[in-house]
Structure 1
Amino acid sequence: MFARRTDSRFTMDVIVTPAEGGTVWQLTDLLGRSMGRITASAPRQFMIHPEGHASETMAGIQQGPHASLDAALAEIERHTRGVCRRNPGEDQL
């Protein structure tokens, strides 16, 4: 996992991969371990669902609803102090 300690928080980069017909995006760390997912339940209703080790890393994150996928990714970046990267070849998010 790519994580560096900054003060009392970790900095972590996240890979974002679309799945399930454009309503679910998988979140993984740089080693391919699941960090959770983002789901779109309705227009302008994007929710962040941390899982596994990310449950601790993302404790206290605003899970949503967020107005867009970009807004949800920005919340992850703010909270983890890292970067959300689209999976290479998956630029059509």
Structure 2
Amino acid sequence: MVKPVAGGNEWRLTDLLGRSMGVVRAVEGGTFLVEPDGNARVTMTGMRCGPFNSLDDALAAIETHTRGVCRREPPEAP
């Protein structure tokens, strides 16, 4: 699951059980980096973590590497 975090430059990644899988972060220059956390450190070993040109490119890399699907959740309420 991919959920935007308040501030608009970070997206939280969780598995379907709600465990942290890391974040995708927008950085200077308009690129995106994947920062694995928890179980994803092992799952994403060997995956290119960036820079990516877009959030969609970063999520596509995760999907390809993990053979899974990234589903977007609505933003958090203010």
TM-score, normalised relative to structure 1: 0.77
Structure 1 gaps of 5+ residues are: 1-14
Q: Secondary structure at the match of 1:20?
A: coil
Aligned residue pair count: 75
> 2:21 corresponds to which residue?
35
**Is 1:80 matched with 2:76?**
no
Q: Cα RMSD (Å) of the superposition?
A: 1.2
> Deviation at 1:45?
1.0
1: CA distance, partners of 2:48 / 2:6: 23
> 1:66 corresponds to which residue?
52
2: CA distance, partners of 1:67 / 1:44: 7
Report if aligned partners of 1:66, 1:72 keep a CA contact under 8 Å in 2: yes
Question: What percentage of residue pairs aligned between the two structures are identical?
Answer: 55
More strand by share: 1
> Deviation at 1:43?
4.2
User: AA paired with 1:30?
Assistant: L
